[in-house]
Structure 1
Amino acid sequence: MKVAECTTILVGKKASLDGSTLIARSEDGGREILPESFKVVLPEDQPRHYKSVLTGCEVELPGEPLRYTSVPDAHGKYGVWAAAGINEENVAMTATETITTNARIQGIDPLLVDDGLGEEDFVTLTLPYIHSAREGVLRVGELLAKYGTYEMNGMAFSDKDEIWYLETIGGHHWAARRIPDDAYVVAPNRFNIDEFDFESPDFMASADLQTIIADYKLNPDFEGYNLRHIFGSATVKDTHYNNPRAWYVQHYFDSNLQTTPLDQDQPFIVHADRKISVDDIMFLMASHYQNTPYDVYGDQGTAAEKKRFRPIGINRNFETHILQIRNDVPAGLAGVQWLGFGPNTFNAMVPFYTNIVDTPASFRDTGSKFNLQSIFWLNKLMSQLGDTNFKLYGELESAFEQKTVAACYRIQHQTDKLAQELQGAQLQTCLTKANQKMADLTFANTVELLGKMVEEGHAHMQLKYDLLD
């Protein structure tokens, strides 16, 4: 079975720099390289009868699906794994964040064994059928109640106004919270939702969840409901694998926070000391504890400290997305899917418009085998070379990333102005051309960077014997 462990960042519209809603996630895997692609699923290509590859679970789907973007696995041997996208109603979804649980809830509502739905399935079964973020929560809730799940997962939904984060609980239950407009969230691979108000319209859950908590005496707190305390974990693994990632993000946005990497009760809903940009999220998704003793590439810590905590940017990043729904442009321009393939320390994220009917070949036609025409494989090659000597290659990558993202911003600004009055097929053609232009320059800049790395690394090879040696 495919392993996927990720990091999620959510930013409300009043917390973001430009008033957009932002939901982001790195899709991480295990030892096996799992190439990713970028595709548009048209209504006529959406299945009417769905069957999961991993479990064989069969679902009859509603009629009249919406067009949507997706980031499926290139080989498909474990299923679709559509991962994330934005549909034609400018509703975004990312799924899923692998999370933790505890034996208490598993004894009441066990995870299914070899049955039900999981990360492989949720985007395909949900995103084409929802017209708001809130509808996304309700749709997944219905699927969980009817079909169940074999794993613990978190997922996020957004539209131009709202962001909702949902976590599965046991085999058939769930809880979701609306993210306040002026707040942000970082969610690593643990149960993340903490304070929960069953009476507020900004919270939703399975109809019997509060009753289960009472009947089985699951609440360890004297007052209120903290779902992380009730359904989640607080293990030694959390202190090394999960909590440090949340700590690093939260301290990046507010250095005065009084928390440590080991803390089990880091807050779920957080407020930054400034507005949050897409660039902030790109940095954090590539971060490896810079300027701390825990940076594997840094010079502050001991060998043990450098390996103590799992970073966000890691060799197992296979794709990372930032789903942006903008509020300062016409609806036809609002959806932007920032996308980067491979480890985030050596890639550049590209702001693809989602009101399109096709995607650039270098991002679409990845293939399951190594292919130098694919941006996924180029980024994977570049990151593995860069990892051999980060001090040597890191500045080259930084310059490449800034150059590439700046050029993409420029194309986006020009396209936004050009396309203000366009509609329908004319608008889609304009946006498709802009996407192609951004993909082409990213590909060219990536090849250029790879060439510079080869030139720079030539003199630093160990297998050498200079004439003057």
Structure 2
Amino acid sequence: MKQTECTTILVGKDASLDGSTMIARSEDGGREIIPEGFELVTPDKQPQHYESVISHQKIDDADLPANPLRYTSAPDVSGESGIWAAAGINAANVAMTATETITTNARIQGIDPLVDQGGLGEEDFVTLTLPYLHKAVDGVKRVGYLLEKYGTYEMNGMAFADHDEIWYLETIGGHHWIARRIPDDAYVVAPNRLNIDEFHFGQDGFMAAEGLEKLIKEYQLNPDRKGYNMRHIFGSSTIKDAHYNNPRAWFVHNYFDPEFGGQPSDQDQPFICHANRKISIEDIKWVESSHYQDTPYDPYGDQGTPEQKKTFRPVGLNRNFETHILQVRNNVPDEVAGVQWLCFGPNTFNSMVPFYTNIKDTPACFQTGPKFDLKQIFWLNKLAAQLGDTNFKVYGELETDFEQKSLAQCHFIQHETDKKVAELSSKEVEEALTAANQKMADQVYNNTVELLGNMVNEGHNLMTLKFDLLD
């Protein structure tokens, strides 16, 4: 079991609507449904001895520091292939999302091959990193250390955020890595390719595995006459990229800046970009749900040919199993700064919920079980999306109304809770935030049930198996 297709969005604090840092990713999979949950990992639940399920890599106990922090996670609930914690925010208000599966090329694989025995992967990184971070840059240092010592068997990207900074790291071969700080006024969209382009060794805002610059020169890996473009050096530029990866970035760029232009298959779309406005939570959710609306490539649209509708891979699709926006807010008390916006299932038929992370537990309907159960919102969202997919023109408007209603209600609860906690003790704050999370989860669950009821009512007369009685 492997989650291999995701879309990452990063937004610096000066590029966001409310001055928060935001790192987001849709966690996508393959043909098999992968149920995802929402859990709180307290220090006593953090592994003191660790062995990967997939690779059987054992981590030296000395590399599992004492006094881990509490953190939230969005794990695969079956546990069959390991934890796959995916994303969360810890007690120091440091956020991490991992991982974005990315591309590579034969040149670097011939120098530093992916490890074929042991090594770390997406299964491991959040569990081995997030509970030990006090700043975003600590995540780069921690993962860099783990990669150089234990290696990896796959190419991955991951992001870290705190109140002030966002860092994005990509693995290079079996043991090397690069990382770049995202400028405060910029945003990033990172699909399933190696994404970091312009790179400056030794400058602030750039970090890399020791000896990487020397390796590039020694093996004559740089195709450019000036500077370093890491996507050119270590990444790919394939037909698959032109149909699977680049169009997603192109569509998001043109949503955030309509003057971006270009073509869907363009290979050299920039990593660091600037929107024509400040970016909201709703903007990120919209692009994570997008399917080339108002273009010939929209599978639900009426502009293109059947062939065009299947030309490019959209961001929102049936294989979205969990999507998060990890928001570290400024201008609020630290106790309420960390918010893990979360939704399950295909993003075309769900709504984000802004869960506080300074809590005692997570809502039961978001913890999820491995078997179909309509008391759990993961399975409820899957059902809504599969029914909605049968006639998007009819059901799409119902979903829009449902999502607007749900977001408005959650915003209201969040505003009221933010005001309330200013007068509470630390213990009372945790209890109040846990209660607020439960209230939002219940509201969105009930709204989703209502959405399904409205879809059934609308779809009753659209069934093929019918015969009108006209007597």
TM-score tier (shorter): over 0.9
Cα distance in 2 between the residues matched to 1:125 and 1:262: 36
Quick check: 1:435 aligned with 2:417?
no
Given that 1:332 and 1:423 are in contact with CA atoms closer than 8 Å, whether structure 2 keeps it comes out as no
In the other structure, the counterpart of 1:397 is 399
For residues 126-165 of structure 1, give each alpha carbon's deviation from its aligned partner in whole angstroms, at most 9, with x where no partner exists.
Answer: 0000100000000000000111000000000000000000
> Equivalents in 2 of 1:292, 1:420: separation in Å?
47
Write out aligned runs for 1:228-247 (5 A). Answer: 228-247=231-250
1:426-460 C-alpha deviation (Å, 9 max, x unpaired):
10000000000000000000001001111111110
Report if aligned partners of 2:158, 2:168 keep a CA contact under 8 Å in 1: yes
Equivalent of 1:340, from 320, 339, 343? 343
1:255 CA displacement? 1.1
Corresponding residue SS for 1:428: helix
1:304 to 299, 307, 311: 307
- TM-aligned CA deviation for residue 257 of structure 1: 1.5
Greater than 6 Å deviation, 4+ residue runs: none
Q: For 1:427 and 1:113, how far apart are their aligned partners in 2?
A: 47
Query: Matched residues, percent identical?
Result: 70
> Residue 318 of structure 1 corresponds to which residue in structure 2?
321
The counterpart of 1:417, out of the listed 415, 419, 438, is 419
Aligned equivalents of 1:378 and 1:297: distance in 2?
22
Deviations 1:60-107 (A, max 9, x none): 211110000000001110110000000000000000000000000000
Shift, 1:423, TM fit: 3.2
Deviations 1:7-63 (A, max 9, x none): 000000000000000000000000000000000000001011111100110112111
Counterpart residue identity of residue 403, structure 1: K
Deviation of 1:295 (Å): 0.4
For 2:425 and 2:183, locate their aligned partners in 1 and report how far apart those are by CA, in whole Å.
33
Partner of 2:53: 53
Is 1:164 aligned to residue 193 of structure 2? Answer: no
- CA distance in structure 2 between the aligned counterparts of 1:435 and 1:86, rounded to whole angstroms: 15
Instruction: Give the match for residue 381 of structure 2.
Output: 379
What are the superposed Cα offsets for residues 312-333 of structure 1, whole Å, 9 maximum, x if unpaired? 0010000000000000100000
CA distance in 2, matches of 1:427, 1:305: 52
Deviation of the 1:465 alpha carbon = 1.1
TM-score, normalised via structure 1 length: 0.99
1-side partners of 2:171 and 2:470: how far apart?
65
Residue 424 of structure 1 deviates from its aligned partner by 1.6
1:87-236 mapped onto 2 (5 Å cutoff):
87-236=90-239
The answer for the alignment partner of 1:9 in structure 2 is 9
SS across alignment from 1:111: coil
5+ residue gaps, structure 1: none
- How far off is 1:259 after superposition? 1.5
Number of residues of Structure 1 aligned to a counterpart in Structure 2: 468
Letter of the 1:434 counterpart:
A
Could you say what secondary structure the match of 1:168 adopts?
strand
Question: Is the contact made by 1:17 and 1:277 (CA closer than 8 Å) also made in structure 2?
Answer: yes
Shift of 1:3: 3.3
Distance 1:136 1:425 in 2: 28
Task: Confirm or deny: 8 A CA contact 2:3 2:27 kept in the other structure.
Answer: no
State how far apart, in whole Å, the 2-side matches of 1:415 and 1:278 are: 18
1:265 maps to what in 2?
268
Taking structure 2 as the reference length, the TM-score comes to 0.99
**Alpha-carbon separation, structure 1, partners of 2:351 and 2:221:** 45
Preserved CA contact (<8 Å) 1:152 1:170 = yes
Deviations 1:177-203 (A, max 9, x none): 000000000000000000000021200
Out of 348, 352, 355, the position equivalent to 1:349 is: 352
The amino acid of 1:436's aligned partner reads Q
